[in-house]
Structure 1
Amino acid sequence: MPSDVRVIAFPGAPNLPVFAALERGYFAEEGVDVALTTTPSSVFQMEKFNEGAFDIAFTAFDNIVAYREGMGAVPLSNASDFRVIMGATQVELSAITAPDIKQAADLRGKTLALDAVGTGFAFVLYAMLEQLGLGAKDYTPVAVGATPERWKSVQEGAHAGTITIEPFTSIAAKAGFNVLRKSTDAFPAYQGGIVATRQSWAVENAEAVRAFIRGYLKGLAWTLTPENRAAAAVLLQAKMPEIKPGVVDAVLASVLSPRSGLTPQAAIRPEGMQRVLDLRSQWGGSGRRLSGFDKYTDLSFYEAARSGT
């Protein structure tokens, strides 16, 4: 009988390997029945993950760090149980602005839509704007929610800008919105997306965790195979109909690049993880210098899944 695994992820093109593993039966081959839910915000995701409503979270590495360190947007009772079990994406984050905001200076006195004002992706935006000459007092960050909600708020004129991932970056650019800066231009490496679980659940369900990882890696391998690009485009558009034919090539180019998207073999990037810690140390407001990403990880399930043990 298949093991049930409940997954919560942010909406976005980086979910393509999960879509592939579901559609092509890779999870089923490994004996896991995976149910995928997308989250409206990082707070919702982390609260439900903490409560045990979900077993696996595709989330930002910084979310795990923040809640483990007691710096999260809300207090969580079981955050010490959170562990990163494999990588997911380098992730390209883009500073998107309304058509009339042509340069960073135009953002002075304006509001920016964010998931939450103290998350890792927010720190990336703050750092990019600092590189473009803006200080923290030049704009006002506002908590709005996940990328679809943020993008909608900028479209409707409620906020002057936001930070996006694919496909929303390409959709925005196609619609005449401005891309002021991308994280891939700002930092040589940034471990944006990871896969996490709760250690207590993983220990009790070790084979299900390993089976999930094996299924995901099959989906990732299929996604990254060049011969499957056309089929991947069809699958992505079927799962995310907001991706129109005119932008799907740009979306895939970003997501399939190891510099801006999916990480080959779902490996973690040590330099990218350290970048996350550095940004939280700089912008997190605690005055603490964070180092040593190993304490947030347990790669034993990943290593066992890859070795076949």
Structure 2
Amino acid sequence: MQAIELICFPGAPNLPIFVAKEKGFFDKAGVAINMTTTPSSAFQAENLINGKFQVAGTAFDNVVAYQEGQGAVTFDRQPDLFAFMGATQVELAFIVAPEITSYQDVKGKSLALDAVATGFAFVLYEMLAKAGLQRGDYSFAAVGATPQRWEAVRAGQHAGTITIEPFTSIARAQGFRVLDTSSNVFPVYQGGSFAASRAWAAGNPDALKGFIKGYLAGLDWTLKPENRQEATDTLLRNMPEIKPPVAGAVMASLLSPKSGLTPDGAILMDGVRAVLDLRTRYGSGKAALTDPSKYIDLTYYDEARRG
């Protein structure tokens, strides 16, 4: 059995991984998964590219960013990352302090981000721009992944941030406001994906296909209505920061294909185009990004699904 070091952002979308580990779906597929959660996108990318981790559950935009040389970390060689499977549309919520009731109240405030040039940051930029705010109307601070950002807003250090579940429901339950969501702004958005190095994948095709098979088995089980209570219990056990009163809201968002897990782990090409359009407009590159095949290879996914 081959071991795979997996690094993911902390969040409810990891539920199929928890399920696959606990139900033995990865074992059955011939892989042992050691999962680490990342404190930031920069830490994740650096350690995926340098080989400490073999697979990442990450924002699809992170793959694009590092392949285009626009990531928060620079390398002495060209990264060879690619997305091999989808994960979520991941509804991003613009969470703000209770006293903020409109976009106009955001003026002059500081907002917490993972990094200032990530895809999720671009989603927030787009929300603010569509509401008529200019870049000089607010300030940003790079704080880290969602748990750190939410804590910074909860503690009053920043006025708002972008969150995913369960942190959106946790914030709501504590009186914080959802000013907007990505699903209000984008009909389809390829939020989460799974990525690896092309060189590692080429040298370890059976391990990668084993990961895909195990994950898809966990996903299929998670999405079955009859498993909802057990799935909820699994999520609470693996993410103790989720308290039972908000578990229902977290699961409702997670199980909706519009805001959560994508059936069959599909990559949504309209959502990919939305990501590329945002990076073209808000990223540091000069050229328009229009070719999804630079960042995606579904060969391993297709072979794994064929058995």
Shift of 1:288: 2.4
Gaps of 5+ in 2: none
Shift of 1:246: 1.1
What one-letter code is carried by the residue in structure 2 that aligns with 1:188? P
Shift of 1:131: 1.7
Matched, 1:254 2:250: no
Which stretch shows the higher mean deviation, 50-59 or 125-134? 125-134
Q: Residues 117-148 of structure 1, C-alpha deviation per residue, up to 9 Å, x if partnerless?
A: 00000000110111222111111111000000
Determine helix, strand or coil for the equivalent of 2:33. Answer: strand
In the TM superposition, 1:199-210 aligns within 5 A as 199-210=198-209
Matched, 1:96 2:92: no
The equivalent of 1:142 in structure 2 is 141
Shift of 1:200: 0.7
Which stretch shows the higher mean deviation, 6-15 or 291-300? 291-300
What one-letter code is carried by the residue in structure 2 that aligns with 1:263? T
Aligned-partner Cα distance in 1 for 2:148–2:77: 28
Matched, 1:303 2:302: yes
What one-letter code is carried by the residue in structure 1 that aligns with 2:213? R
Q: Is the 8 A contact 2:70 2:284 kept in 1?
A: no
Aligned-partner Cα distance in 2 for 1:132–1:143: 22
The equivalent of 1:293 in structure 2 is 292
Q: Is the 8 A contact 1:67 1:76 kept in 2?
A: no
Q: Is the 8 A contact 1:50 1:79 kept in 2?
A: no
Aligned-partner Cα distance in 2 for 1:67–1:307: 30
The equivalent of 2:42 in structure 1 is 43
Matched, 1:268 2:274: no
Shift of 1:286: 2.6
Aligned-partner Cα distance in 1 for 2:76–2:189: 28
Determine helix, strand or coil for the equivalent of 1:80. Answer: coil
In the TM superposition, 1:43-62 aligns within 5 A as 43-62=42-61
Shift of 1:207: 0.4
What one-letter code is carried by the residue in structure 1 that aligns with 2:291? G
Shift of 1:206: 0.6
In the TM superposition, 1:112-261 aligns within 5 A as 112-261=111-260
Aligned-partner Cα distance in 1 for 2:90–2:159: 23
What one-letter code is carried by the residue in structure 2 that aligns with 1:76? F
Shift of 1:78: 4.8
Determine helix, strand or coil for the equivalent of 2:6. Answer: strand
Determine helix, strand or coil for the equivalent of 1:158. Answer: coil
Q: Residues 12-57 of structure 1, C-alpha deviation per residue, up to 9 Å, x if partnerless?
A: 0000000000011100111111000000000000000011000000
**CA RMSD, aligned part only?**
0.9
Aligned-partner Cα distance in 2 for 1:129–1:178: 16
Aligned-partner Cα distance in 1 for 2:60–2:278: 12
Gaps of 5+ in 1: none
Q: Percent identity?
A: 55
Q: Residues 236-257 of structure 1, C-alpha deviation per residue, up to 9 Å, x if partnerless?
A: 0111111111111111111111
Aligned-partner Cα distance in 1 for 2:75–2:278: 22
Which stretch shows the higher mean deviation, 110-119 or 289-298? 289-298
Q: Is the 8 A contact 1:114 1:142 kept in 2?
A: yes
What one-letter code is carried by the residue in structure 2 that aligns with 1:282? R
What one-letter code is carried by the residue in structure 1 that aligns with 2:238? K
Aligned-partner Cα distance in 2 for 1:91–1:208: 26
Shift of 1:79: 4.6
Aligned residues between the structures: 307
What one-letter code is carried by the residue in structure 2 that aligns with 1:65? V
Shift of 1:100: 1.0
Q: Is the 8 A contact 2:49 2:79 kept in 1?
A: no
Q: Is the 8 A contact 2:12 2:235 kept in 1?
A: yes
